[in-house]
Structure 1
Amino acid sequence: MFFKALTGAMAAAVVATAAFAEDPTLRASVLKFGTVTWELNTIKHHGFDAAHGFDLQVQGVAGGSAAKVAFQGGEADVIVSDWLWVARQRAAGKDYLFIPYSKAVGGVMVPDDSPAQSLSDLSGRKIGIAGGPLDKSWLILRAHAEKTYGIDLKADTKQVFAAPPLIFKSALSGELDGAINFWHFLAKMEASGMRKLVDVADAATDLGLDPDTPLLGYVVKGEMLRDMPDLVKGLAAASRDAKNLLATDDAEWDRLRDKMNAKTDAQFEALKAGFRAGIPAPGPVDEDAAARMLALMIELGGKELMGEAQELPAGTFLQSGS
């Protein structure tokens, strides 16, 4: 009986030790077909998660709202969103923080044979906009048009708001005189024969903003940083490992191609180039530059966009040494 009990105790200890030794799981809830899945797939395929002490599990969802619901309800540990949303949530008392993922932004595309040479030429025309009236790119472009050309794009154009895929299809079919879309749709539109009228990054620069400020990133909860700092920092490190590989290795892109929904070689090359151009530089986020962007968003979108945020909340970004 003694040896049986001893054996049972030893077995329990082995199981407990094995459980303790397992890497913590990190549940990422992201768009099923979003560009972030390319990076997450790279992390998992090459074991960058295990190398940094965690087990990445990706949960695909149909939309950004579903990801936020999962995150806020505790069904996901990390999602991808823009830091302006994180700032709004922090101002409302939610302890969320942002790990930079991409600085890629959209722009305005027009048909290749369009006579338009600037935003002012779209007056009286129909513009398709991915998202809603508070889309950040749309707000920046409106401010740029007013500053540079003295026109009110909202009053002087007819806007059609719709999901990115619908704007993409409508633009290619010639139903729109101009289209504002997310960068990966713009890349495919340009590869399909449309041309870029203005880049949101250029419009932001014109407004005194820094286009190198990463807009999109991984969002985690502050309690995770407090309780499991190595897990949060491991995610940041695994993301950087994947970016370094994707920035330099064309073979890795060949492996990912069937996940990229690229219909042609031109679209594939444009998506690869666009992703690479959006990789933010390593190092801390310039919080002064972020504060300037936040101030502009408050001015343009007010409480409807930014809630109670009046300035950049402390702790919004995971910085070196955080």
Structure 2
Amino acid sequence: MTMAAASAETPALRVAVLKFGTVNWELDTISHHGLDAAEGFALDVQGVASSSAAQIAFQGGQADVIVSDWLWVARQRAAGRDMIFIPYSKAVGGLMVPDDSDVQGLADLKGGKIGIAGGPLDKSWLILRAYSEKTLGVDLKAETEQVFGAPPLIFKAALDGDLAGAINFWHFMAKMETAGMRKLIDISDAARDLGLDPETPLLGYVVKGDLLRNDPDLVHGLARASFAAKDILARDDAEWDRLRDHMNARSDAAFEALKAGFRAGIPVSQAIDREAAARMLELMYRLGGADLLGQASTLPDGIFLDPEKPG
């Protein structure tokens, strides 16, 4: 068989992701080490400008895979759209305050501005509100002023001192910590206090059910390649040195923080505890309602890719 013929028989898996998203570090590792080829497919990474652009490409058939949270997938399944979630990361953000701030607890934020990346239905914000209500009897939404914006804008406003506190995605939080801010509370700690399991991966690869039915080896191959890349990134510091130019780390401290943050977000298993996921969805529905989850008031069946059985 010629090389051209072999290449023609290798299916391409079109993955639409944010151009500068952290998932690119994993996708680059997959391609660099030929983990996709070893599983019989070729990654075709398509950089997009926003999550909504990725969703449009995916739903319109221009992409086979996107990265999203499983709560979005639950909403789609409840609306009759057959989508499957493959765990990618359990990393979540936190609430950051200036290092020299007098704020020592959530109650000290009363009357202040909180910057929130992701909008009023941001999952970390909803969890923090629930945590505040449980532990302090305080509704943070009512007691603070919220400022919503894209992660880089919240990052800049926080560093400029325009905010009493800021909730941002984990990689911006890592950079904020090295730039002179401190973590007031980690969202995973708040989730644990609410009876949620912080080991439940929130982010993952999303594929359509048709792809799983028509080519299960391809979908499971993606899952295997993903975890093989994570294994490399978990143990090999040299791999991170290779990726450094793609990480927008402006200092050694930021580089180390990003590396540690990614590693902390690696799921311990490809299996997802459905009971834990159902508890999280129930809380999110109570706080975000149909605006966040549509008709998905309970966990839909078939949302998670079943791990392959040994042998």
- TM-score above 0.5, yes or no: yes
2:189 corresponding residue in structure 1: 202
- Aligned partner of 1:134 in structure 2 is 121
Conserved? CA contact 2:74–2:303, under 8 Å: yes
Does structure 1 residue 124 correspond to structure 2 residue 115? no
Residue type of the alignment partner of 1:57: D
Aligned twin of 2:13 = 26
Unaligned runs of 5+ in 2: none
1:102 corresponds to which of 89, 98, 109:
89
Whether contact under 8 Å (2:87, 2:270) holds in the other structure is no
Q: Identity of counterpart residues, as a percentage? A: 72
Distance 1:185 1:24 in 2: 35
- Of 135, 154, 157, the residue aligned with 1:167 is 154
Q: What's 2:253 paired with?
A: 266
TM-score computed with the length of structure 1 as normaliser: 0.94
Residue number in structure 2 paired with 1:213? 200
Q: Distance in 1 between matches of 2:214 and 2:194?
A: 40
The corresponding residue for 1:153 is: 140
Question: How far did residue 310 of structure 1 move?
Answer: 1.9
Cα-to-partner distance string for 1:155-198 (whole Å, 9 max, x where unaligned): 10011000000000111111111000000000000011100000
State whether residues 233 and 263 of structure 2, in contact with CA within 8 Å, keep that contact through their aligned partners in structure 1: yes
Correspondence 1:66-81 to 2 at 5 A: 66-81=53-68
1:241 paired with 2:228, answer yes
> Which residue is 1:314 aligned to?
301
Structure 2 counterpart of 1:230, from 199, 217, 224: 217
Answering whether residue 272 of structure 2 is matched by residue 288 of structure 1, we say no
Corresponding residue number in structure 1 for 2:39: 52
CA apart distance, 1:20? 8.6
Alpha-carbon distance, 1:27 to partner:
0.3
1:297 pairs, out of 284, 288, 292, with 284
| Bigger CA radius of gyration | 1
Shift of 1:19: 6.2
| Partner SS, residue 114 of structure 1 | coil
SS at match of 1:218: strand
Deviations 1:216-267 (A, max 9, x none): 0000000000000000000000000100000000000000000000011100
Question: 155, 168, 172: which is aligned to 1:181?
Answer: 168
Which residue identity lines up with residue 138 of structure 2 in the other structure?
Answer: I
Q: Give the TM-score of the pair, scaled to structure 2.
A: 0.97
Does structure 1 conserve the Cα–Cα contact (< 8 Å) formed by 2:220 and 2:308? no
- Output the aligned Cα RMSD: 1.3
| Distance (whole Å) between structure 2 residues aligned to residue 214 and residue 118 of structure 1 | 27
SS of the equivalent of 2:234 reads helix
In the alignment, the residues of structure 2 paired with residue 116 and residue 231 of structure 1 have an alpha-carbon distance, to the nearest angstrom, of: 50
Query: Residues 38-60 of structure 1: CA distance to partner in whole angstroms, max 9, x if unpaired?
Result: 00000001100000110001000
CA distance in 2, matches of 1:165, 1:245: 29
Deviation of 1:283 after TM superposition, in Å, equals: 3.5
AA partner of residue 239 (structure 1): S
Q: Report the equivalent of 1:279.
A: 266
Deviation of 1:209 after TM superposition, in Å, equals 0.2
Query: 3-state SS of the aligned residue for 2:114?
Result: strand
